[in-house]
Amino acid sequence: MTDAKLRGSGPVLDVRGLTIALPSGSDRREAVSGASFSVKRGEILCLVGESGSGKSVIAQAVMGLLPDTLPVTGGEIVLEGENVAHAGRERLRELRATRMSMIFQEPMTALNPVMTCGDQIDEVLREHTQLTPEQRRDRILAIVREVALPEPERIIASYPHQLSGGQRQRIMIAMALVLEPALLIADEPTTALDVTTQAQILTLIQDLQQRHGMGVLFITHDFGVVAEIAHRVAVLRLGKLVELGEKDAVLKRPQHAYTKMLIGAVPSLQTHGRAAEGASEPVLRTVGLCKTYYDRGWFGRRREVHAAQDVSIEIRRGQTLGIVGESGSGKSTVARCIIRLIDPTAGEILLHGQDIARMSAAELRPLRRRVQIVFQDPYRSLNPRRTVLEAIIEGPVNYGVRRDKAIERARQLMDLVRMDPASLNRYPHQFSGGQRQRICIARALAQEPELLIADEAVSALDVSVQAQVLDLLEDIRNRLNLAMLFITHDLRVAAQVCDYVAVMSQGRIVEHGPAGQVFGAPRHEYTRALFAAAPGRDFAFGSA
């Protein structure tokens, strides 16, 4: 009785002064300190923050899924009038999926790989309802249709790995919403998806939220997504809520310095329009570059995968060429062919006019130093057993530079990448992700390359750190007059750093030209679709 009454009014979720402790020995005492916010019926509240801000901890606290090592030490979590912060296991179990549901970042891992999608939805119904198998099946098919999945019959008989990323996330949403909960918690639900899929999922969430009138707690680090979907925004920094307000207010007129910094760091989709045709000879040119993988079977037919087809690009000194594409488009394959980590199947790679595509390892060796690369994952790019110094001088020493000279150069490079040369004798694990990425840049620069490849070099970094590294890369390119090949899936990043842009899809370059031209007036259908999907494209960040 009272339940029903309570449900009728008030916010779906009201978090008051929530404090969650961290285990002793952590870098701070509390994961979340006194956070207060509420989610109203029919509202999307975006919880924004960088990694380590505690935003996922809050989401899990609401669901009651926190491990024992992270206890709620203060405050209340009021779900439809009921304080669930210290509710018993059984009560929480009853509430989950019925009154509150959650979807996660990585739909591949969030779904049980050895169960069909239908069974996984069915589990929710079996656990929380007394429906007959037929009724359950009808409900499943209905919800699968509602999340706009094609061929529901086939889909529910499929295993997660047989579906695409977007379809899997739709299954997750179907599973979360099958019992029509009042609150949906979406923890970075689109971060792992390609930009076009992301746009579809965001639209779907908005649709469903309006149709069912749920409250949505949407957790993200991406201000583009915030701009796209939020009604209100809460900004978290190191476990503290620093700003809370209407979307437009927060994004356009941020009050807190941290919010300002974050929004200021979001790259703009506006190109800087620096692309002037250089007269210089290209440092590197590829002509009809192809990479095909063969799946060899004993009896079966050969399967061919064309990772890259007929890719022709050129890069000149002082210029940045961006290759933009979604995952699996072949952009990294091109980068790895150019640096000859893999051997191209066909085509030419001309380094100052000299074809290196088919050179032997020995012939290649003297040329290697001219092209260097920075990888995506800062945690795996450095040998954990070698000091930073050893990492940086490895290249020069390989080419006969005297050790003391190389050390001297390493110190200068540390300066160049804005790090303390005194930390040269430390090991990689003693540095943060952004710092490691700087070290990787220094290591590449130690070879005095003519071409620097950045393969998703800032994708794994938080937005503020990303801005710093992008800034550094640009600075270095200008100072050293480098040619740069910038591989990214992020249109904003591409817009900010690239002079020229090549858009790749399914192994082919579909559009190629000066950045201003490609961004300003995309000609190819795919490019247009890509830009249309970019979240928050119409929103001018920090414009105020």
Partner 1 sequence: MLNFIARRILATVPVLAIVAVLVFLLLRLTPGDPAAILAGDAASADQIARIRISLGLDQPIIVQFGIWIGHLVTGDLGESFYYKIQVADLIAQRLEPTLSLATLTILFSVLVSVPLGVIAAWRFGGWFDRALMGFSVMGFSIPVFVLAYILIWIVSLKLGWLPVQGYKRIADGFWPYLQHLILPSITLSVIFIALIARVTRASVLESLGEDYIRTARAKGLRESQVLIRHALANAAVPIVTVIGIGIALLIGGVVVTESVYAIPGLGRLTVDAVLARDFPTIQGVILFFSLVYVGVNLLVDLSYVFLDPRIRY
Partner 2 sequence: MPAAQSKASELETLSVEAADIRVTESAWQRVRKNWSVRIGGAALALLLLIAVSAPWLGTVDPTLFDAASRDLVPGQRGEITTLDGEIIKHKFWFGSDSYGRDIYSRVMYGARVSLTVAVLAALLSLAFGIVCGLSAGYLRWLDGILMRFMDGLMAIPAILIAIALVAMWRGSLTTVIIAIAIPEIPRVTRLVRSLVLSIREEPYVEAAVALGTPTWKIMFGHILPNTIAPLVVQGTYICAAAILVEAILSFLGVGLPPDIPTWGNIMAEGRPQFNQYPHNIFIPGVFLAITVLAVNILGDGLRDTLDPKMAKRV
Stretch in the footprint of partner 2 (CB under 8 A) among 225-233, 384-392, 520-528, 533-541: 384-392
Q: 83, 162, 268, 432: which one contacts partner 2 (CB under 8 A)?
A: 432
Q: For residues 266 and 224, is the Cβ–Cβ distance under 8 A?
A: yes
Q: In what order do the strands lie in the sheet with 451-455?
A: 371-374, 451-455, 483-488, 320-325, 500-505, 508-514
The DSSP call for residue 281 is P
The two counts, helices (H) then strands (E), for the chain are: 21, 20
295 contributes a contact to partner 1 by CB under 8 A? no
Q: CA torsion sign, 296 to 302 to 304 to 310?
A: positive
223 contributes a contact to partner 2 by CB under 8 A? no
Stretch in the footprint of partner 1 (CB under 8 A) among 2-10, 298-306, 333-341, 470-478: 298-306
28 contributes a contact to partner 2 by CB under 8 A? yes
464 contributes a contact to partner 2 by CB under 8 A? yes
What's the min distance (Å) between Cβ of 278 and partner 2?
A: 21
Q: For residues 55 and 223, is the Cβ–Cβ distance under 8 A?
A: no
What's the min distance (Å) between Cβ of 333 and partner 1?
A: 24
519 contributes a contact to partner 2 by CB under 8 A? no
What's the min distance (Å) between Cβ of 371 and partner 2?
A: 7
Q: 152, 395, 522, 535: which one contacts partner 2 (CB under 8 A)?
A: 395
What's the min distance (Å) between Cβ of 483 and partner 2?
A: 15
Which partner, partner 1, partner 2, none, binds residue 123 by CB below 5 to 8 Å per kind? Answer: partner 1
Question: Distance from first CA to last CA of the chain, Å, rounded?
Answer: 49
Stretch in the footprint of partner 1 (CB under 8 A) among 123-131, 210-218, 219-227, 331-339: 123-131
Q: How many CA atoms lie within 13 A of 418 on its CB side?
A: 11
Residues 146-185, interacting with partner 1 (CB under 8 A): 159, 161, 172, 175-176
Show the tokens assigned to 422: 């005194």
Q: What φ, ψ does residue 163 adopt, rounded to 5°?
A: -105, 165
In the bound state with partner 2, the residue whose beta carbon lies nearer, of 409 and 512, is 409
Q: 7, 42, 81, 94: which one contacts partner 1 (CB under 8 A)?
A: 94
In the bound state with partner 1, the residue whose beta carbon lies nearer, of 279 and 298, is 298
115 contributes a contact to partner 1 by CB under 8 A? yes
In the bound state with partner 2, the residue whose beta carbon lies nearer, of 105 and 376, is 376
- Amino acid symbol at 184: L
353 contributes a contact to partner 1 by CB under 8 A? no
DSSP result, 51-92:
TTSSHHHHHHHHHT---TTS-EEEEEEEETTEE-TT--HHHH
In the bound state with partner 2, the residue whose beta carbon lies nearer, of 204 and 382, is 382
Provide the β-strand partners of residue 74: 19
Q: 231, 252, 368, 411: which one contacts partner 2 (CB under 8 A)?
A: 368
Show the tokens assigned to 474: 């640009």
Q: For residues 137 and 64, is the Cβ–Cβ distance under 8 A?
A: no
Q: For residues 493 and 267, is the Cβ–Cβ distance under 8 A?
A: yes
431 contributes a contact to partner 2 by CB under 8 A? yes
Q: What's the farthest any 2 CA atoms get from each other in the chain?
A: 83
Q: What φ, ψ does residue 59 adopt, rounded to 5°?
A: -60, -45
Which partner, partner 2, partner 1, none, binds residue 141 by CB below 5 to 8 Å per kind? Answer: none
Q: 51, 83, 109, 270: which one contacts partner 1 (CB under 8 A)?
A: 109
